[in-house]
Amino acid sequence: MTDKETAILTIAKQAEAAGGRAYLVGGCVRDKLMGKLPKDHDIEVHGIAPDALLEILKGIGEPLSFGESFGIYSLKGLDLDIAMPRREHAIGRGHRDFEVEVDPFIGTEKAAMRRDFTINALMEDILTGEIIDHFGGRQDLQEGIIRHVNDVSFKEDPLRVFRGAQFAARFGFKVSPDTVEICKGMATSELSSERVEGELQKAMLGSDTPSVFFEVLREMDQLEPWFREMKALIGIEQDPVFHPEGDVWNHTMEVLDRGAKLRDEADEPYAFLLLCLTHDLGKITTTTFEKGRIHAYGHESEGLPIAETFMNRLVGSKAVKEYVLGMIPSHMKPNMVAYSHSKVKNTNKMFDEVSSPKDLILFSVADRPVMAGDFKFQGDRDFLEGRLKIYQNTMSEPYVMGRDLIESGLDPGEDFKEILDYAHKLRLAGIPKAEALKQVLSYAKKLRTNKR
Ligand code: CTP
């Protein structure tokens, strides 16, 4: 038995000895019934006073009392939260604005009623293993349904809109129509971006089909305000020859799901999927009809400010934002260079412009054009990976640095950056260092003579 299992059993036995009862609650009961390994455990102790619970916990380890006023404790070193049953009433519109009333004698049904979904309202009696299921959670688990527990208490926490979408995406479940209805009226604008991004991350990293998260939010009419840029993709038409899947929304959802299959290979899985989500935002402003065809010229650069606005609203990590914004302008290049079998110089330049060349190739696989008619190109991962090896080899060769130029007698004047840029160009073209040094010095000489 692990330390955690011992602690859980001891709490249950001592709670029983004191006249109470301890239950596993929430996600861990659901995960176990789904045959998954729970990531953490929550215990709810009924029928004893908070002081008595604290005494029990002190006898087992070091209780951390971060949420003492809410009747929540954790034991140091164990992934274990121990709580007393409580009622919660919303007193504001934010996720944390709650008045909490601890009541050890409220009973299991009322205690479970404050939970979001029936599958999350299951309880397991620790000593007997009996599952306590007041709201049909087991049936919903079997049928794959996300259903809210209670009309009144559900609405008190708007984060549950995103939780519902996220669980549907992760588990491949459907959201019950009355839960979709109730979510339609919930105001999510006051939520903190951290909380909303937390649910987005769970969908992006924990689902094989993250599109479900967005499709559910669309059905709930909850893409605004947090995902309003995605909403704007609905109805933006694309050339049916290249995109028989329909509008840019459909395309984005397909790229996202293909991206999820490649996620584990990516250097930055979350940022990679955000790239899949945002790569075509430029089509919102650039799509035009010309001579009977649909074009979106320049969408790869026009999309940058739109993607930036979206990420500034939601994404906390600067590195993630930089990755995505750095990749969007290059997102079309891999399939273009592969189609035309471009020169090495061009593929080297393409890889050099992004933070993760490997993820750019993966993106091109996720974004590969769906072909129609006589246009047969299906993307070419082998070609791109071959070129990535060449790029990596090229970059591992010795190259002309600033100090080489100074040692060769060149003054580092105000045009030095321009000269170094030229040296970098030669590096990407695979020119050996000795030859490149000659060419750079000659370039510098010409540059300075012309300026005189
Ligand atoms: N819960 C809730 N409403 C919320 C957040 C949580 O009712 N807004 C309840 C649910 O019963 C949930 C439990 O608290 O099962 C634990 O929440 P959390 O740890 O966020 O999620 P899990 O359900 O454990 O799921 P996972 O961690 O796998 O996402």
With a 6 A CB cut-off, is 356 part of the ligand 1 pocket? no
Q: How far is residue 232 from each of residues 224, 240, 284, 304, measured CA to CA in Å?
A: 10, 19, 7, 15
The residue contributing the CA closest to ligand 1 atom 14 is 26
Is any atom of ligand 1 closer than 6 Å to the C-beta of 160?
A: yes
pLDDT for residue 372: 53
**Mean pLDDT along residues 81-99:** 74
> What is the model's pLDDT at position 242?
75
pLDDT at 66: 64
On the question of pLDDT at 2 being above 80, the answer is yes
Please answer whether residues 159 and 132 qualify as being in contact, where contact means their C-beta atoms are separated by less than 8 angstroms.
no
The pLDDT of 222-245, averaged and rounded, is 91
Can you give the pLDDT at residue 374? 56
Check residue 271 and give its pLDDT.
98
Residue 184 scores a pLDDT above 80: yes
Do 263 and 246 touch, CB atoms closer than 8 A?
Answer: no
pLDDT, tens digit, for every residue of 242-260? 777 889 999 999 999 999 9
Ligand 1 center from residue 244 Cα (angstroms): 39
In tens, the pLDDT along 311-321 reads 999 999 999 99
φ, ψ of residue 375 in degrees (nearest 5): -95, 110
What is d(CA 98, CA 91) in angstroms, rounded to the nearest whole number?
Answer: 5
230 in ligand 1 pocket by Cβ < 6 Å? Answer: no
> Does any ligand 1 atom lie closer than 6 A to the CB of residue 202?
yes
Question: With a 6 A CB cut-off, is 257 part of the ligand 1 pocket?
Answer: no
Provide the pLDDT confidence category of residue 240 given band limits of 50, 70 and 90: confident
- Whether 375 shows a pLDDT value over 60: the answer reads no
Q: What's the mean per-residue pLDDT of the chain?
A: 93
Q: Which residue's alpha carbon is at the smallest distance from atom 8 of ligand 1?
A: 160
Statement: residue 70 has pLDDT above 80? no
Tokens of residue 348, six digits = 């080297």
Nearest CA to ligand 1 atom 12: 26
Place of tokens 């274990």: 80
The helix or strand, by DSSP H or E, that contains position 1, with its residue range, turns out to be none
User: Percent of the chain having pLDDT more than 70?
Assistant: 94
Instruction: Check if 120 has its Cβ closer than 6 Å to any atom of ligand 1.
Output: yes
Instruction: Please name the residues in contact with 144: beta carbons below 8 A apart, sequence gap of 6 or more.
Output: 171, 172, 173, 174
Cα 45 to averaged position of ligand 1 atoms, centre (Å): 17
pTM of the model: 0.92
Our answer on whether the CB atom of 164 is closer than 6 Å to any ligand 1 atom is no
More confident residue, 355 or 92: 355
In this predicted structure, the answer to whether residue 418 has a pLDDT above a threshold of 80 is yes
| Residue 355: predicted pLDDT | 94
End-to-end CA distance of the chain: 82
Atom in ligand 1 nearest the alpha carbon of residue 166: 29
Give the tens place of pLDDT for each residue, 301-313: 999 999 999 999 9
- Residue 81, ligand 1, Cβ within 6 A: no
Question: Which atom of ligand 1 has the smallest separation from the CA of 160?
Answer: 8
Nearest protein Cα to ligand 1, atom 23: 27
Across the range 41-52, mean pLDDT stands at 95
Pocket test for ligand 1, best of 113, 120, 123 (most atoms within 8 A of CB): 120
In this structure, the residue with its CA closest to atom 25 of ligand 1 is 27
Query: From ligand 1's centre to the CA of 25, what distance in Å?
Result: 9
Name the residue at shortest CA distance from atom 20 of ligand 1.
27
Q: Residues 6 or more apart from 309 whose CB is under 8 A from it?
A: 229
pLDDT confidence of residue 371: 57
pLDDT of residue 275: 98
Given pLDDT bands bounded at 50, 70 and 90, which one contains residue 110? Answer: very high
Q: Would the pLDDT of 120 be above 70? A: yes
Ligand 1 nearest atom to the CA of residue 28, by list position: 24
pLDDT at res. 420: 97
- Ligand 1 centroid vs 160 CA: distance in angstroms? 9
What does the pLDDT look like over 263-299, one tens digit per residue? 999 999 999 999 999 999 999 998 898 888 888 889 9
